[in-house]
Every structure is written in C-alpha cells, then in structure tokens.
C-alpha cells in the first residue's frame, strides 16, 4: 500500500537494531483516516470470506481492527492482557512474548466471543516474529473456530513470522512489508 509505505519512510524512527517506531500515525497517535483506508484494503482482500468476527489484542491492534470492522459490519473482539476483576475465568487463554516489553504476557478472550462456528479475521498493527498472531491463533484454535486469514499494517519480513503463517496455509495480507532495516535504512519487499 503505497500511501502507507510513504508515511513509514517519512515519519518512522528506527530504535536500536530492529524496532521501528510508528508512534506518529499507527500507535500512540492514530491517523484515523489512514487507518480507515487500510481497513478498506483488508475488506478488498477478505470481504467475500464470510468473516463473522475480527480478533485482535489490546492495545495497539484495536484502532485498526475497528476501522476494518466498519466495512465488514461484524464485531471486534480484543484479547485482554493480564487478569482483571471483571473477568470471570470463562476464557480461552494463552501467552505471547512481547518484544517491545521484553516479557511474556498473558492474554485471554471470553468464551462468549469466540464460537466454534466463527470465521475469524485476525488484525494487528505489526507482524514480526509472529508471537502475537500465533498467540491469537491459539485462542481461535481453542474455540474450534476457523481462522480465515490475517491482516497486518506492517510486516517485518526479515523476522520470519509472515513466512511461518504462510507455511501453515494461513493467508496473510500485509499492507507494507519491510525486507531490511540494515544500516537504519528501510527497504520494502516490493
């Protein structure tokens, strides 16, 4: 998606070796009209797949998931991190390793919101090694629901998560694929 690539080139900071910071428009600050355009792209890809729910994980996936769901006219469900007082244990749960926080995070979804007959689209802001997506996939599998596909804004292709998903036969639509960050230069895959 050309407009996204241009924004990444213009506004992204590279932190350390391999963390790209898209705080200006994709997380922390959210350019909702850009996110709405991205949501329409996912609809072009998955709009005829009979999606019944869109699944993401708090917090940075929520905005893009919502602006995608507007097109599909289906609910968003976001996996919660940690345990909160209003949660009752009636959940599917698992763990994901957060690269930015450098720790394992417990995630959970109420069993009310993932049903065996659901056809799920997973949406997230980033796909790197794939930990978050595989954590969400695990919840979908626990529910016996069908994972139709994955949509992410930015894929760091060199970290292998996208390939692992494709190797399992799971469709992945990445709106911008970064092939390399060597010498702090962003090179896209196309």
**Binding site residues, its own copies, CB under 8 A:** 15, 19, 21, 23-25, 28-33, 35-36, 58-59, 62-63, 66-67, 69-70, 73, 75-78, 80-82, 84-86, 100-102, 109-110, 112-113
Residue placing its CB nearer to its own copies in the complex, 45 or 71 = 71
What CA–CA distance (Å, rounded) separates 35 from 81? Answer: 23
Closer residue to its own copies, CB minimum distance, 24 or 170: 24
Which CB sits closer to its own copies, 123 or 165?
123
Q: Shortest gap between Cβ of 112 and its own copies (angstroms)?
A: 8
Q: Round to whole Å and give the CA distance between 151 and 131.
A: 15
Is the CB of 68 or the CB of 174 nearer to its own copies?
A: 68
Distances (CA, A) of 127 to 32, 92, 118, 177: 20, 22, 23, 9
Measure the CA–CA gap between 14 and 122, rounded to whole angstroms: 26
Q: Which of 47, 163 has the CB closer to its own copies?
A: 47
Contact 40, 71 (CB under 8 A): yes
The minimum distance between CB 162 and its own copies, in angstroms, equals 21
Provide the 8-state DSSP code for 157: G
**From residue 104, how far is each of 15, 55, 100 by CA, in Å?**
21, 20, 11
Give me the least distance between CB of 168 and its own copies, in Å please: 27
* Shortest reach from residue 76's CB to its own copies, in Å: 4
CB of 181 to its own copies, least distance (A): 14
Residue of 186, 139, 134 whose CA lies nearest to 160: 134
């Amino acid at each position: 998606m050309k407009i996204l690539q241009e924004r990444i080139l213009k506004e992204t900071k590279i932190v350390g070796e391999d963390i790209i910071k898209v705080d200006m428009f994709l997380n922390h600050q959210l350019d909702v009209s850009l996110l709405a355009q991205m949501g329409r792209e996912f609809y072009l890809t998955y709009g005829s797949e009979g999606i019944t729910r869109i699944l993401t994980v708090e917090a940075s996936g929520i905005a893009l998931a919502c602006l995608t769901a507007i097109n599909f006219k289906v609910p968003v469900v976001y996996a919660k991190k940690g345990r909160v007082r209003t949660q009752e244990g009636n959940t599917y749960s698992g763990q994901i390793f957060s690269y930015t926080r450098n720790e394992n995070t417990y995630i959970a979804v109420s069993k009310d919101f993932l049903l065996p007959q659901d056809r799920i689209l997973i949406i997230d802001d980033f796909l790197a090694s794939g930990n978050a997506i595989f954590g969400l996939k695990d919840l979908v599998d626990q529910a016996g629901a069908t994972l139709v596909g994955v949509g992410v804004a930015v894929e760091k292709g060199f970290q292998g998560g996208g390939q692992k998903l494709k190797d399992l036969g799971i469709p992945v639509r990445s709106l911008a694929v970064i092939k390399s960050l060597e010498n702090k230069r962003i090179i896209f895959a196309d």
